[in-house]
Amino acid sequence: IKHPLQNRWSLWYDYQSGKINPEHWVDSLKKVISFDSVEDFWCVFNNLPNVSNLKQGSSYHLFKDDIEPKWEHESNKRGGKWFVMVKDKSRCDNQWLQSVMACVGETFDSSDEICGIVYNSRKNGDKISVWTKTAQDEKATRDVGNCLKKILEIDQTIQYTPHEDFIRSSKGSKNLYEC
């Protein structure tokens, strides 16, 4: 018997070469695999190329199974993301694993608020983002941000931006919270 996770999760991948507009972005998004047990989680992660080796321009998205990893999805459109610039590339594999384990193990405070987690490999610096459901719920949103800093063992200030800004215009976004 396998050990069930509280939620079923799906891993998605996308690769963007150069500038992309929001209408075409979804075309490159591919669902790779889903899992709902501890054993299957390890099976997936033990076989997944490390984020430190991810080709620049590509991203991993790990989301609760009923949530597509895009701003427009019902569960995301009133939410936003905490994002962390990866400052020390030698720590990125471990930081990604720790934050993914906290998601699937539901050890974040206010973990019901979590939609998913993203790793972007980018020329101007890698990013880890945690997407939450309700930007207006300041308490729950801050709980997630504070937990994320502990999990990543960082003391830099991190920012939270609502997706609605991107839905209106992919250029403009303002930070709603910091922690």
| Contact footprint for ligand M7G (CB under 6 A) | 20-22, 25-26, 70-72, 120, 122, 170
Tokens at 109, concatenated: 């405070």
Q: How far is the CB of 70 from ligand M7G (least distance, A)?
A: 3
DSSP three-state, residue 52: helix
Query: Considering beta carbons, is residue 70 or 133 the nearer one to ligand M7G?
Result: 70
Cα→Cα distances 97→49, 66, 100, 164, Å = 12, 22, 5, 28
Query: Considering beta carbons, is residue 79 or 145 the nearer one to ligand M7G?
Result: 79
Cα→Cα distances 143→54, 110, 111, 169, 176, Å = 29, 6, 9, 28, 14
- Which residue's entry shows tokens 């998605």? 12
Q: How far is the CB of 25 from ligand M7G (least distance, A)?
A: 4
Q: How far is the CB of 20 from ligand M7G (least distance, A)?
A: 5
Tokens at 75, concatenated: 């569960």
Q: How far is the CB of 169 from ligand M7G (least distance, A)?
A: 10
Query: Considering beta carbons, is residue 38 or 57 the nearer one to ligand M7G?
Result: 57
Query: Considering beta carbons, is residue 5 or 103 the nearer one to ligand M7G?
Result: 103
